[in-house]
A = this chain, B = another copy of it.
Amino acid sequence: MDNYVRIFDTTLRDGEQSPGATMTSAEKLDVARALARLGVDIIEAGFPAASPDDLEGVRQIAVEVGQPNTARPRPPLICGLARASKSDIDKAWEAVKPAARPRIHTFLATSEIHMRYKLKMDREQVIERVSEMVAYARGLCEEVEFSPEDAGRSDPEFLYLVLGEAIKAGATTLNIPDTVGYTTPDEFGALIAGILTNTPEIVNCVVSVHCHDDLGLATANTLAGLRAGARQAEVTVNGIGERAGNTSLEEVVMALHTRRPAFNLITGIDTTQIMRASKLVSNYTGFVVPPNKAIVGSNAFAHEAGIHQDGMLKHQQTYEIMRPETVGVTQTRLVLGKHSGRHALKTHLSDLGYALSEAELDKAFARFKNLADKKKVITDADLEALVADEFYQPHEVFTLDGLQVTCGTMGMPTATVRLRGPDGQVRTHAAIGTGPVDASYKAIDAIVQAPSTLLEFSVRAVTEGIDALGEVTVRIQGTNGSSHLLNAQKEVEQPRTFGGHGAETDIIVASAKAYLMALNKLLVATGKYGATEKAATAVPA
């Protein structure tokens, strides 16, 4: 058995499916580019049958990220999820076929509890459907992955049978999900070992593991599966995903890397890209990374605490098992100042992976100069916040034309907001609120008229120092109930939430921008304003 572990990233499918992690098409495309830079083997780009927008989002990734180029002659496989139905498989194929290396991933539950209560099918029906649908997918696509959903709670003997049939029908990868995060490492390792021993003809397939973190065991279960012989790991950046999330890409990759002699397994990941990918996904989803998160938390490396200079700790490995540079944590934070020119900015953004058009660069440079007037030191984090704020806007239905706020301990916080509407008209409204943000949002609501509930509001300073950029993240949900998201496994629609972010040194202005961005996404999704977001969005090439 070879020792290469394929990294299958499902940040854009299982990750994005978690409540509140919804991303725009432009954001997803950008995450896909980051995953390609990271060197993942397979990108599961979405669930095309969920909606025409989802299909188009996956297709766009297949077209733009799934192609060979000089930097990466062998591009990542682009994979689309499909339930075990011809219609789903057709849509998945339509979405992934422009990729140089497409894959269709289909699934059907095999645990008693899922077959009885969700599928209402018996064992024979399940086997028949799996055979038929895997064969149908294989008729379209060379690479077909099949997952027996809730494998962790399935009867192993039945699992061997189903998997054997999937292989006969042409499956090339067999993925074993612990859908509800229920197993222990010993159990999950034994399950994989049992499958490898007892499933006929399995030597011709790659066995894959897909774990969830409900009991905090996703990484350990994944590693136990790989040790037992699986050679694909399904993971997400920062471990985002439904409930407690999926297995963290960074934990599995760095455990294999740091304990190389113990595992004797390798991956194709460029570990120095881990931190950048982590920050990108955190920014776009609004899922914070806590300081004590393994690998990518701000405290993860001992030397960051400012104690590494101490003479007594001169032998680095006393308290450090990984070097921060290995995962892309860099020490040089000062990057540009107020005298830096347009060319320096362009070079720097390009190093960060942003290839802006001339027009976009003009806008970025203007914002950069404006920020440099206020803030002494501009760091990578500042630049990434600015670029995200400027270029990953959805179609702008309403834009902020002006804001004036008064607040303080005397009460009566008041905001005056001026917005430019889709008709080009400028409207102004003043409102009083319980605080400056509430007042601003009430004034915006009075003009925009899109009823919504604010689910989440948070602000963080992008860098240290009181003159830092403040990045505001909001999450709203429309109250008219018109916009829903289809969950592939549960086959139920869940209310769709919309995130917005804004980065400004004035956090009240940033709050207004973030809210307006979320409202604009909501308005576009409800179909009131024709243009789809992607047509109107400036996407870096």
Partner of A251, one of B216, B453, B465: B216
Determine the distance from Cα of A509 to Cα of B453 in the docked complex, in whole angstroms. Answer: 24
Q: Does A350 contact B (CB under 8 A)?
A: no
Q: Which of A166-174, A295-303, A385-393 lies at the interface with chain B?
A: A295-303
Interfacial chain B residues near A19, Cβ < 8 Å: 291, 299, 304-306
Partner of A454, one of B317, B441, B465: B465
Known: A305-B494, A310-B492, A313-B490. A292 touches B219 (CB 8 A): no
Q: Does A182 contact B (CB under 8 A)?
A: yes
A246, closest chain B residue (CB): B292
Q: Does A323 contact B (CB under 8 A)?
A: no
Closest beta carbon of chain B to A363's beta carbon, Å: 17
Interfacial chain B residues near A179, Cβ < 8 Å: 319
Q: Does A460 contact B (CB under 8 A)?
A: yes
The interface centre, meaning the residue of A220, A288, A312, A490 with most chain B CB atoms within 10 A of its CB, is: A220
**Structural contact, A438 and B467, CB atoms closer than 8 A:** yes
Q: Does A283 contact B (CB under 8 A)?
A: no
Q: Does A318 contact B (CB under 8 A)?
A: yes
**Structural contact, B459 and A453, CB atoms closer than 8 A:** no
**Structural contact, B299 and A467, CB atoms closer than 8 A:** no
Known: A217-B220, A435-B470. A315 touches B505 (CB 8 A): no
The interface centre, meaning the residue of A245, A320, A407 with most chain B CB atoms within 10 A of its CB, is: A407
* A360-419 residues at the B interface, CB under 8 angstroms: 374-375, 400, 402-410, 413, 416
> Chain A: interface residue count, which band?
35 or more
Copies of this chain per assembly: 2
* A465-519 residues at the B interface, CB under 8 angstroms: 465-468, 470, 487, 489-492, 494-495, 504-509
Closest beta carbon of chain B to A287's beta carbon, Å: 6
Closest beta carbon of chain B to A6's beta carbon, Å: 19
Determine the distance from Cα of A116 to Cα of B490 in the docked complex, in whole angstroms. Answer: 56
Q: Does A240 contact B (CB under 8 A)?
A: yes
**Structural contact, A456 and B467, CB atoms closer than 8 A:** no
Q: Does A267 contact B (CB under 8 A)?
A: no
Determine the distance from Cα of A436 to Cα of B241 in the docked complex, in whole angstroms. Answer: 36
**Structural contact, A292 and B459, CB atoms closer than 8 A:** no
* A168-222 residues at the B interface, CB under 8 angstroms: 179-182, 184-185, 187, 213-217, 219-221
**Structural contact, A318 and B117, CB atoms closer than 8 A:** yes
Q: Which of A27-35, A38-46, A92-100, A253-261 lies at the interface with chain B?
A: A253-261
Interfacial chain B residues near A408, Cβ < 8 Å: 402-405, 416, 506, 508-509
A467, closest chain B residue (CB): B434
Determine the distance from Cα of A304 to Cα of B497 in the docked complex, in whole angstroms. Answer: 14
Interfacial chain B residues near A489, Cβ < 8 Å: 319
Interfacial chain B residues near A405, Cβ < 8 Å: 405-408, 436
Interfacial chain B residues near A312, Cβ < 8 Å: 117-118, 490-492
Closest beta carbon of chain B to A257's beta carbon, Å: 10
Interface 1/0 per residue, A251-295 and B, CB below 8 Å: 110110011001100000000000000000000000111111111
Determine the distance from Cα of A408 to Cα of B443 in the docked complex, in whole angstroms. Answer: 14
Partner of A241, one of B219, B292, B508: B292
Closest beta carbon of chain B to A51's beta carbon, Å: 17
**Structural contact, B292 and A240, CB atoms closer than 8 A:** yes
Known: A184-B259, A287-B290, A322-B214. A306 touches B461 (CB 8 A): no
Interfacial chain B residues near A7, Cβ < 8 Å: none
6 residue pairs A–B, Cβ–Cβ below 8 Å: A215-B259, A215-B295, A287-B292, A307-B490, A405-B405, A434-B506
List residues of chain A with CB under 8 Å of any chain B CB. 18-20, 113-114, 116-118, 179-182, 184-185, 187, 213-217, 219-221, 223-224, 238-245, 248, 251-252, 254-255, 258-259, 262-263, 287-295, 297, 299-302, 304-307, 310, 312-315, 317-322, 374-375, 400, 402-410, 413, 416, 433-438, 441-442, 453-461, 464-468, 470, 487, 489-492, 494-495, 504-509
3 closest A-B pairs by beta carbon, nearest first, are: A220-B220, A216-B251, A245-B292
With A405-B405, A457-B470 already in contact, 6 other A-B pairs whose C-beta atoms are closer than 8 Å: A181-B294, A184-B259, A214-B321, A243-B301, A436-B507, A459-B507
